[in-house]
């Protein structure tokens, strides 16, 4: 294990946290922990957004230095305002970050490889490498030479800046960055859950620790159901398992009825047919440095900022304007560059937060406008102005987010169309994926709605008896399960003052879950709503982990809104949830360390290349030593296979790489380049020269994949082409474009 690098990166993370803490304390001065768990995402966001803009002129140390200067200036400003950090009371956050960081370091140390199969590691590693080679932003697409990348790369940009700052080789930086994002997610969840719980005068640490567990280790209840089926007698467990499996994804279904010896960590992420249902611990165990993971701390930073707005009294107009118009738009824009799927979520969360905050949305406007609006006061206009005003604020945040990262939207983001009415989720799948959270949300809302239920028990029963079965039988299981929660939560937030931001987070997640039942982003890379549910459900998990943790803390703590008699039942419920959602982590870690080489742990993500692809390892290292971004040409291969390794593992742009480019640029563009690559390896000398010139190729790679696919001849027969590297399995030719043109 590279202990020195681990210590260096941990020191850098904690130093950036300390540097960012005064600014966080200034923004979150009304909450108990002064935003300590959000300080690192805040600081990295400021540093990286600055580097993003400067990087369009000059990337590297120049952009990094600019980002650090802006961050230092922000903290200096905060200290000049006399902000009190209270360092001694903040020690729990760096301690939690350290434990989380080291946990993932150990997990990755047992299996650190950037494997091409089972995830997006080739894509993520290639993005990190190509960023580190880029003189300016946006980076060149390493799988589509000559064009800027069409992908959200903000999380990789953060990783690249940290790699530059620490002077670390990319093969180690990949896993060190991954561990840092996990630490940020856990501390952010701890902080947001704690600050909301503290507003109810219940234990913020109880809520925070629940949030750490749910967001960092818990899984859906599939493995818990497996354990139940295993534990029951065959006469009962067999039929039960078959009944559960009937409407699940085939991978999940086969494991419900399988013995414990056949546990596989992969299958609980494939529960609802035609979708991916990841949860954070699965993602970090799998080890992708992927956008949907890296955006989660910043989504919670947005939730924390919006909670600060939510708690600010109406009379403090300037502070509320600064939060919602000054802080949220740049964060929204930055989130879009990190993971564009989260951009609509932060805009929607803004709408909900402003709509349900005690302060009226229209009070953000000039006094004269508010005075005229008050003349039309009535229950209908009040609700209309609240929802409409909040929508106007959200639209301004959307526009502001677009402007803050305008180069991304104009050149890097790839367009997608929206599809409607996909295949919907079965009831069993929804309950398995979301059941642990529903077990908290339902009793929490019942505790608050109970007096109203007593008054209108008959009417409520009739409505539910008609609505739920009708929705379910009509193929709308999600409506049957989640719509009643949405309506009850919405109404209670407007009628009662003993619910707060935890219910806003609940509503945000409910909205996301319902939306993907009816609309999805159409992509060439995956069928139907496959990718939409994948990217949206990770956000739902994070938001609901925090919401459920606050609710559990409130139910355990009692109070005027929570009957005392509920505390014992909640304690039992909490214990059952912790146990049932921990089975996955226990089994998965046991299997992970059984399979991993724990006797010789390392963070070298490329070590496996020497063990499994020795025939190409030296050739890839030879290419990796080249400076800049010279173009290469290689055989494009199937995704999730050992193909395009020279480009993915070096960051050198190749003419065409994985089929991911179909999703980014369309089938026609991909096929055009595929034809060119095929023609180069199999065509006439005149065709080969033309293609080398067209794509400004510097190196021709001929390895096992190229020989198997094309059986090419000797390219050194071409004028301006010579052998630069040769082994028994790989030949690399160097192209002199000047001689090529002259010939």
pLDDT per position as a tens digit, 493-524:
888 778 899 999 999 999 999 999 999 888 87
**What's the CATH number where 677 sits?**
3.40.50
- What residues contact 524, with CB distance under 8 A and at least 6 apart? 662, 663, 666, 667
Q: Is residue 636 part of a domain?
A: yes
- At residue 367, the pLDDT reads 67
- As a whole-number percent, the residues of the chain with pLDDT over 70 amount to 93
Mean pLDDT of 620-624: 96
Is residue 218's pLDDT more than 90?
yes
Q: Is residue 594 part of a domain?
A: no
For residue 363, report the phi and psi dihedrals to the nearest 5 degrees: -70, -10
Is residue 363's pLDDT more than 90?
no
- At residue 472, the pLDDT reads 58
Tell whether the torsion through CA atoms of 58, 62, 68 and 74 is positive or negative: negative
- At residue 364, the pLDDT reads 87
Phi-psi region of 412 (alpha: psi -120 to 50; beta: other; left: phi over 0): alpha
Tens-place pLDDT, residues 138-175? 999 999 999 999 999 999 999 999 999 999 999 999 99
**CA–centroid distance for 76 within its chain:** 31
Q: Is residue 229 part of a domain?
A: no
Query: Token digits for 281?
Result: 């611990």
Is residue 231's pLDDT more than 90?
no
- What residues contact 98, with CB distance under 8 A and at least 6 apart? 10, 14, 183
Mean pLDDT of 396-400: 96
Greatest Cα-to-Cα distance within the chain, rounded to the nearest angstrom: 91
Q: Is residue 240 part of a domain?
A: no
- At residue 371, the pLDDT reads 57
- At residue 481, the pLDDT reads 87
Domain count, the chain: 1
Query: Token digits for 100?
Result: 């989380």
Indicate the pLDDT class of residue 84, thresholds 50, 70 and 90. confident
> What is the CB neighbour count within 10 angstroms for residue 118?
11
Tens-place pLDDT, residues 414-458? 777 888 888 888 888 899 999 999 999 999 998 887 665 556 555
- At residue 460, the pLDDT reads 57
- At residue 456, the pLDDT reads 55
Is residue 366's pLDDT more than 60?
yes
Question: What domain range is 620 assigned to?
Answer: 607-742
Q: Is residue 272 part of a domain?
A: no
Q: Is residue 430 part of a domain?
A: no
Cβ–Cβ under 8 Å, residues 105 and 622:
no
- At residue 158, the pLDDT reads 98
- At residue 464, the pLDDT reads 59
Which residues sit opposite 701 in a β-bridge?
A: 732
Helix (H) or strand (E) holding 577: helix 566-580
CA–CA separation, 222 and 267 (whole Å): 9
Name residue, tokens 């209840």: 221
- At residue 197, the pLDDT reads 93
- At residue 407, the pLDDT reads 93
Indicate the pLDDT class of residue 379, thresholds 50, 70 and 90. low
- At residue 477, the pLDDT reads 82
Tens-place pLDDT, residues 268-289? 898 898 899 999 999 999 999 9
- At residue 416, the pLDDT reads 76
For residue 604, report the phi and psi dihedrals to the nearest 5 degrees: -75, 105
Mean pLDDT, the chain, integer: 90
Q: Is residue 646 part of a domain?
A: yes
Is residue 370's pLDDT more than 80?
no
Phi-psi region of 711 (alpha: psi -120 to 50; beta: other; left: phi over 0): left
- At residue 623, the pLDDT reads 97
- At residue 491, the pLDDT reads 85
Cis peptide before 66 (omega within 30 of 0): no
Indicate the pLDDT class of residue 473, thresholds 50, 70 and 90. low
- At residue 264, the pLDDT reads 85
Indicate the pLDDT class of residue 637, thresholds 50, 70 and 90. confident
Is residue 209's pLDDT more than 80?
yes
CA–CA separation, 324 and 349 (whole Å): 11
- At residue 417, the pLDDT reads 81
- At residue 394, the pLDDT reads 95
Indicate the pLDDT class of residue 740, thresholds 50, 70 and 90. confident
Helix (H) or strand (E) holding 444: helix 427-455
Q: Which of 200-214, 292-306, 418-432 has the lowest mean pLDDT?
A: 418-432
- At residue 569, the pLDDT reads 85
Q: Is residue 54 part of a domain?
A: no
CA–CA separation, 63 and 710 (whole Å): 43
Cβ–Cβ under 8 Å, residues 28 and 195:
yes
- At residue 90, the pLDDT reads 85
- At residue 465, the pLDDT reads 58
Indicate the pLDDT class of residue 682, thresholds 50, 70 and 90. very high
Listed in sequence order, the DSSP H helices in 474-525 are 477-495, 501-515
CA–CA separation, 359 and 364 (whole Å): 9
What SS3 class is residue 60? coil
- At residue 466, the pLDDT reads 57
Mean pLDDT of 615-630: 95
CA–CA separation, 532 and 156 (whole Å): 21
- At residue 463, the pLDDT reads 56
Is residue 681's pLDDT more than 60?
yes
- What residues contact 443, with CB distance under 8 A and at least 6 apart? 555, 566, 569, 570, 573
DSSP output for 257-320:
TS-GGG--TTGGG--STTS----HHHHHHHT---HHHHTHHHHHHHHHHHHHHHHS-TT-HHHH
Tens-place pLDDT, residues 315-353? 999 999 999 999 999 999 999 999 999 999 999 999 999
Mean pLDDT of 591-609: 83
- At residue 705, the pLDDT reads 93
């Amino acid at each position: 294990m590279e202990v020195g690098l681990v210590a260096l990166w941990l020191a850098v993370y904690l130093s950036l946290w300390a540097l960012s803490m005064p600014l966080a304390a200034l923004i979150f001065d009304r909450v108990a922990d002064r935003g300590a768990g959000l300080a690192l995402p805040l600081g990295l966001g400021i540093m990286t957004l600055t580097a993003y803009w400067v990087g369009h002129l000059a990337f590297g140390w120049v952009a990094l230095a600019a980002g650090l200067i802006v961050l230092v200036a922000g903290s200096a400003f905060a200290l000049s305002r006399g902000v009190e950090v209270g360092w001694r009371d903040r020690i729990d956050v760096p301690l939690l970050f350290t434990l989380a960081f080291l946990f993932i370091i150990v997990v990755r140390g047992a299996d650190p490889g950037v494997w091409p199969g089972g995830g997006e590691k080739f894509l993520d590693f290639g993005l990190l490498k190509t960023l580190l080679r880029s003189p300016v932003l946006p980076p060149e697409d390493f799988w589509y030479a000559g064009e800027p990348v069409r992908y959200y790369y903000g999380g990789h940009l953060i990783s690249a800046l940290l790699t530059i700052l620490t002077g670390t080789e990319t093969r180690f930086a990949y896993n060190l960055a991954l561990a840092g994002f996990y630490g940020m997610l856990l501390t952010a969840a701890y902080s947001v859950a704690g600050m909301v719980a503290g507003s109810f005068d219940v234990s913020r640490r109880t809520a925070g620790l629940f949030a750490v567990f749910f967001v960092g280790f818990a899984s859906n209840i599939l493995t818990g159901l497996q354990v139940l089926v295993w534990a029951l007698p065959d006469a009962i467990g067999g039929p039960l398992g078959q009944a559960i499996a009937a409407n699940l994804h085939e991978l999940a279904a086969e494991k419900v009825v399988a013995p414990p010896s056949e546990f596989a960590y992969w299958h609980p992420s494939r529960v609802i047919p035609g979708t991916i249902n990841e949860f954070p611990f699965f993602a970090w165990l799998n080890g992708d440095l992927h956008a949907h993971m890296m955006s989660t701390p910043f989504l919670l930073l947005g939730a924390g900022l919006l909670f600060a707005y939510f708690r600010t009294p109406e009379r403090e107009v300037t502070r509320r304007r600064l939060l919602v118009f000054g802080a949220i738009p740049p964060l929204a824009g930055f989130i879009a560059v990190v993971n564009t799927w989260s951009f609509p979520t932060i805009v929607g969360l803004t709408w909900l937060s402003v709509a349900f905050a005690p302060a009226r949305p229209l009070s953000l406007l000039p006094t004269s406008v508010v005075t005229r609006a008050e003349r039309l006061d009535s229950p209908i206009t009040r609700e209309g102005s609240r929802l409409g005003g909040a929508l106007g604020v959200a639209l301004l945040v959307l526009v502001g987010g677009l402007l803050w990262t305008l180069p991304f939207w104009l050149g890097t983001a790839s367009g997608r169309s929206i599809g409607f009415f996909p295949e919907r989720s079965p009831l069993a799948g929804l309950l398995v994926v979301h059941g642990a959270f529903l077990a908290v949300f339902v009793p929490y809302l019942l505790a608050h709605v109970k007096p109203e239920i007593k008054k209108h028990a008959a009417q409520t029963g009739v409505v539910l008896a008609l609505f739920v079965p009708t929705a379910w039988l009509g193929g709308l299981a999600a409506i049957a399960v989640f719509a009643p929660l949405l309506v009850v939560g919405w109404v209670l937030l407007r009628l009662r003052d003993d619910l707060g931001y935890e219910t806003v987070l609940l509503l945000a997640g409910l909205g996301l879950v319902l939306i993907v039942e009816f609309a999805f982003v159409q992509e060439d890379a995956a069928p139907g709503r496959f990718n939409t549910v994948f990217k949206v459900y990770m956000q739902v998990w994070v938001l609901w982990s925090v919401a459920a943790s606050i609710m559990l803390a409130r139910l355990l703590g009692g109070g005027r809104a929570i009957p005392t008699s509920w505390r014992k039942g909640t304690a039992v419920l909490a214990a059952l949830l912790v146990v049932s959602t921990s089975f996955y982590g226990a089994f998965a870690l046991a299997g992970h360390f059984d399979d991993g080489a724990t006797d010789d742990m390392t963070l070298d993500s490329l070590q496996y290349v020497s063990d499994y692809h020795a025939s190409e390892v030296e050739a890839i290292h030879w290419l990796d030593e080249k400076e800049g971004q010279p173009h290469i040409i290689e055989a494009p291969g199937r995704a999730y296979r050992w193909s395009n390794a020279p480009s993915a593992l070096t960051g050198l742009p190749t003419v065409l790489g994985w089929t991911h480019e179909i999703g980014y640029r369309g089938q026609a563009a991909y096929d055009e380049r595929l034809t060119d690559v095929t023609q180069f390896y199999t065509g006439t000398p005149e065709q080969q020269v033309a293609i080398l010139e067209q794509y400004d190729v510097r190196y021709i790679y001929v390895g096992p994949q190229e020989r198997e696919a094309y059986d090419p001849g000797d390219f050194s027969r071409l004028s301006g082409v010579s052998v630069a590297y040769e082994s028994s399995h790989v030949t690399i030719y160097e192209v002199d474009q000047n001689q090529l043109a002259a010939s």
